[in-house]
């Protein structure tokens, strides 16, 4: 029987983390040298955690599927990272960042974790500046800030449109320093394929060397998963092609709980889908909404003429443009949170006002800000994003408005963790996008980088140490123990099973099919009938996959199709879990919009009396319905209210 204990420390909210740190157990330097920690993932969460553990004196083994830690998906992050420094003196504070994050997440996040996140946000900026991360600065020398959705202050620190890259380089340098000092052993092109549990505790992993195909056993006194999100379940997403949910799914199948799987974020400003053969979608950063204004034609005939190629957006007079976000949400305007902006775009397109050849696009226009600030100012702020857009779309966004449409971007759901970021399996921790995290039902822009680095630099170093203080008498295990042998055997059998299907369909064709079902029925708008259909279709796809997938080549060396198939098998399971969770949550909140539950003006309608909980799914065996446990969410400091951005 799973016991859910969030282990929220006693005391007033603002003192919980201080109290935790003051009373946590420590490991002395001599004992740290005897303890090994496995960190899986080298994105911002994993790289920062691994570097910190090694700096503290633990021995660390780090795994990544890429050829270099620098290539983790985090490198793609564009817009920025939040912190409550209040440099612009516009009224920000830790309390306000905390409040905005809880409200932005539609009151479905855990108060104590979110407060801690806001509390450590300022230290992240100091840490990164000390590492040399080149944040943008103002003329006077202070770090510059811009605004992101869901906030009325400017609290987003940025490095042009490459914030993730610069932050990752900082964490990477810290990590490589420890590799050089031999405190970190780095395993690149190595994929976790199983988790080893000994006497109920996580004690290691099985990895597959993606170059040789060999399975390897690794021991650790604790294991940290920082393996990113599962947005690629939808096939087309803004995530890196290699992003996957496999490590999270392995943890789930070994007894960790999967929390809020249906909370997926759809980002409003992506380059629209432009063809059947696309395998990736491109994000245009939310930072663009600082200066870009979103609109569609006011008149249907104009929208039709644009779709038919008979009219250009620049030919539409100002009074014939509908700046629908400014109209509907005057207080936040173009900077409403992502879920709200995405739904508003869908509403306009569904009503026949969409532009572009497919009608599934809206405009993001810089005309007014170029006139106000000058083209050089806009180029300095967003130059690389404009260049990227022009390269992909072959249109100059300085002259013609960009076309954008919502796309899958981030997953708020993930492995359930307590206040210590520990899963229900002792010794197994989960950080960054892979955990169910602090963002509730909708993540605010620039908060993922904040969370990943908070977890890695400032939370895990305390909480993992607290756990390891009780493990100092456990000697390093040999990986010849039965549990390691069995786990390796299990993984080898799965790979053999995949290869032996020997059917007719390519991995991608099945993945695309899954993605379409997810987008149509578990995407921006969901309803009971659609979700039941999705469950039925996903189960059919699962059957098709296990009887008809074709994986050329063997397991003896590099085999990209085998890697993809191994991950797709897990995406199918995750897709099913998402649909099930979405079906059971009979309310709308954040990114989870159930059409049956909306206010008169089409906003998300929560049912706090019934659904103010984290849904935590327990695996019950292959093809068995999982069991849902509930972590009730108690709001002691924040008054829960209907979200309002008007």
Ligand X SMILES: Cc1cc2nc3c(=O)[nH]c(=O)nc-3n(C[C@H](O)[C@H](O)[C@H](O)COP(=O)(O)OP(=O)(O)OC[C@H]3O[C@@H](n4cnc5c(N)ncnc54)[C@H](O)[C@@H]3O)c2cc1C
Residue numbers annotated as active site = 338
Token pair in block for residue 58: 């633990």
Q: Angle at Cα 277 formed by Cα 273 and Cα 280, nearest 5°?
A: 55
> Whose Cβ is closer to ligand X: residue 397's or residue 432's?
432
Residue 566 binds ligand X (CB under 6 A): no
Site size toward ligand X (CB under 6 A) is 45
Contact stretch for ligand X (CB under 6 A) within 107-115, 239-247, 361-369, 390-398? 239-247
| CB of residue 621 to ligand X, shortest distance in Å | 22
Contact stretch for ligand X (CB under 6 A) within 309-317, 327-335, 427-435, 499-507? 427-435
Say if CB 154 and CB 88 are below 8 A apart: yes
Q: Which of 154, 246, 265, 369 touches ligand X (CB under 6 A)? A: 246
Applying the rule CB under 6 A, the residues between 270 and 299 that interact with ligand X are: 283, 285
In order of 510, 517, 537, 561, the CA distances from 504 in angstroms are 11, 21, 19, 13
Residue 72 binds ligand X (CB under 6 A): yes
Q: Which conformational region is residue 262 in: left (phi greater than 0), alpha (psi within -120 to 50 degrees), or beta?
A: alpha
Whole-angstrom Cα distance, residue 646 to residue 330? 5
Applying the rule CB under 6 A, the residues between 152 and 211 that interact with ligand X are: 163-164, 191-192
Say if CB 102 and CB 440 are below 8 A apart: yes
In order of 256, 497, 561, 576, the CA distances from 501 in angstroms are 29, 7, 13, 21
| CB of residue 226 to ligand X, shortest distance in Å | 5
Residue 78 binds ligand X (CB under 6 A): yes
282 φ/ψ angles, rounded to the nearest 5 degrees: -110, 130
First to last CA, the chain: 45
In order of 265, 309, 335, 437, the CA distances from 522 in angstroms are 11, 32, 25, 21
| CB of residue 125 to ligand X, shortest distance in Å | 13
Token pair in block for residue 275: 């063809």
Say if CB 256 and CB 430 are below 8 A apart: yes
Q: Per 3-state DSSP, what percentage of the chain is helix, strand, and coil (rounded to 5)?
A: 45, 15, 40
By DSSP bridging, strand 215-219 and strand 414-415 are unpaired
> Whose Cβ is closer to ligand X: residue 86's or residue 566's?
566
Cα radius of gyration rounded to whole Å, the chain: 24
Residue 432 binds ligand X (CB under 6 A): yes
- Spell out where 74-172 has E strands: 81-82, 156-157
Whole-angstrom Cα distance, residue 367 to residue 374? 10
Reference 31, options 465, 428, 479; nearest CA is 465
110 φ/ψ angles, rounded to the nearest 5 degrees: -85, 120
Q: Which of 56, 76, 176, 273 touches ligand X (CB under 6 A)? A: 76
> Whose Cβ is closer to ligand X: residue 389's or residue 611's?
389
Q: Which of 121, 178, 243, 437 touches ligand X (CB under 6 A)? A: 243
Residue 121 binds ligand X (CB under 6 A): no
Applying the rule CB under 6 A, the residues between 448 and 507 that interact with ligand X are: 448-449, 452
Whole-angstrom Cα distance, residue 397 to residue 383? 10
| CB of residue 205 to ligand X, shortest distance in Å | 8
> Whose Cβ is closer to ligand X: residue 287's or residue 588's?
287
> Whose Cβ is closer to ligand X: residue 80's or residue 149's?
80
Name the 3-class secondary structure at 607.
Answer: coil
Contact stretch for ligand X (CB under 6 A) within 300-308, 378-386, 428-436, 530-538? 428-436
Say if CB 228 and CB 47 are below 8 A apart: no
Contact stretch for ligand X (CB under 6 A) within 58-66, 271-279, 378-386, 569-577? 58-66
Contact stretch for ligand X (CB under 6 A) within 97-105, 315-323, 429-437, 618-626? 429-437
Site track for ligand X across 16-55, x = CB under 6 A: ------------------------xxxxxxx---------
| CB of residue 309 to ligand X, shortest distance in Å | 30
Q: Angle at Cα 68 formed by Cα 196 and Cα 245, nearest 5°?
A: 45
Applying the rule CB under 6 A, the residues between 586 and 645 that interact with ligand X are: none
| CB of residue 62 to ligand X, shortest distance in Å | 9
Q: Which conformational region is residue 121 in: left (phi greater than 0), alpha (psi within -120 to 50 degrees), or beta?
A: alpha
> Whose Cβ is closer to ligand X: residue 163's or residue 491's?
163
Residue 238 binds ligand X (CB under 6 A): yes
Whole-angstrom Cα distance, residue 171 to residue 48? 5
Q: Which of 83, 266, 421, 446 touches ligand X (CB under 6 A)? A: 446
Residue 228 binds ligand X (CB under 6 A): yes
| CB of residue 138 to ligand X, shortest distance in Å | 20
Contact stretch for ligand X (CB under 6 A) within 74-82, 526-534, 601-609, 628-636? 74-82
Q: Which of 35, 60, 77, 460 touches ligand X (CB under 6 A)? A: 77
Q: Which residues make up the interface to ligand X (CB under 6 A)?
A: 40-46, 63-66, 72-74, 76-81, 163-164, 191-192, 226-228, 238-239, 243-244, 246-247, 283, 285, 409-410, 432-434, 446-449, 452
């Amino acid at each position: 029987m799973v016991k859910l204990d969030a282990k929220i420390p006693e005391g007033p909210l603002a003192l919980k983390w201080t109290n935790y740190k003051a009373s946590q157990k420590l490991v002395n330097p001599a004992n740290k040298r005897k303890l090994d920690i496995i960190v899986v993932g080298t994105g911002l969460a994993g790289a920062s955690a691994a570097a910190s553990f090694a700096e503290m004196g633990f021995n660390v083994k780090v795994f990544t599927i890429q050829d270099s830690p620098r290539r983790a998906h985090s490198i793609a992050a564009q817009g920025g990272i939040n912190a409550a420094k209040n440099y612009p003196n516009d009224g920000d504070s830790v309390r306000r960042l905390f409040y905005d994050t809880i409200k932005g997440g539609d009151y479905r996040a855990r108060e104590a974790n979110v407060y801690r996140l806001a509390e450590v946000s300022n230290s992240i900026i100091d840490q990164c500046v000390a590492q040399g991360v080149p944040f943008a600065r103002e003329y006077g020398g202070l770090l510059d800030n811009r605004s992101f959705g869901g906030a009325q202050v400017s609290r987003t620190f940025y490095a042009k449109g490459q914030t993730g890259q610069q932050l990752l380089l900082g964490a990477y340098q810290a990590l490589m320093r420890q590799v050089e000092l031999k405190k970190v052993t780095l395993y690149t092109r190595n994929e976790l394929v199983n988790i080893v549990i000994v006497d109920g505790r996580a004690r290691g992993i099985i990895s597959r060397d993606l170059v040789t195909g060999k399975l390897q056993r690794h021991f650790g006194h604790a294991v940290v998963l920082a393996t990113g999100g599962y947005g690629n379940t939808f096939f087309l997403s803004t995530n890196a092609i290699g992003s996957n949910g496999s490590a999270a799914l392995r943890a789930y199948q070994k007894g960790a709980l999967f929390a809020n799987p249906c909370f997926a974020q759809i980002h409003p400003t992506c380059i629209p889908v432009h063809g059947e053969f696309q395998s990736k979608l491109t994000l245009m950063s939310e930072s663009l909404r600082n200066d870009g204004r979103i609109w569609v034609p006011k008149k249907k005939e104009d929208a039709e003429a644009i779709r038919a190629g008979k009219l250009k957006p620049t030919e539409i007079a100002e009074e014939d443009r509908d700046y629908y976000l400014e109209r509907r949400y005057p207080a936040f305007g173009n900077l409403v949170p992502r879920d709200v902006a995405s739904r508003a775009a869908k509403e306009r397109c569904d009503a026949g006002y969409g532009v572009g050849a497919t009608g599934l696009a809206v405009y993001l226009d810089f005309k007014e800000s170029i006139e106000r600030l000058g083209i050089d100012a806009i180029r300095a702020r967003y130059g690389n994003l404009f260049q990227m857009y022009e390269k992909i779309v072959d249109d100059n966004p300085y002259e013609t408005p960009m076309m954008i449409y919502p796309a899958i971007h981030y997953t708020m759901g993930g492995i359930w963790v307590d206040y210590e970021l520990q899963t229900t399996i002792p010794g197994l921790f989960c950080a960054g996008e892979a955990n169910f995290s602090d963002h509730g039902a909708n993540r605010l822009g620039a908060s993922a980088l904040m969370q990943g680095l908070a977890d890695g630099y400032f939370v895990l170093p305390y909480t993992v140490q607290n756990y390891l203080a009780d493990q100092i008498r456990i000697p390093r295990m040999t990986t010849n123990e039965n549990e390691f042998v069995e786990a390796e055997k299990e993984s080898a059998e799965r790979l053999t099973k995949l290869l032996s299907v020997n059917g007719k369909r390519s991995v991608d064709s099945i993945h695309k099919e899954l993605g379409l079902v997810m987008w149509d029925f578990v995407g921006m708008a969901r309803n009971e009938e659609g979700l039941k259909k999705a469950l039925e279709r996903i189960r059919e796809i699962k059957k098709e996959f296990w009887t008809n997938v074709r994986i050329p080549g063997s397991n003896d060396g590099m085999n990209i199709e085998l890697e993809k198939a191994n991950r797709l098998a897990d995406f199918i399971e995750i897709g099913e879990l998402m649909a099930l969770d979405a079906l059971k949550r009979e309310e709308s909140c954040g990114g989870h919009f159930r059409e049956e539950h909306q206010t008169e003006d089409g906003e998300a309608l929560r049912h706090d009396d019934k659904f103010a909980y984290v849904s935590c799914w327990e695996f019950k065996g292959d093809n068995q319905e999982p069991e849902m446990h509930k972590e009730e969410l108690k709001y002691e400091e924040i008054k829960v209210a209907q979200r309002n951005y008007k």
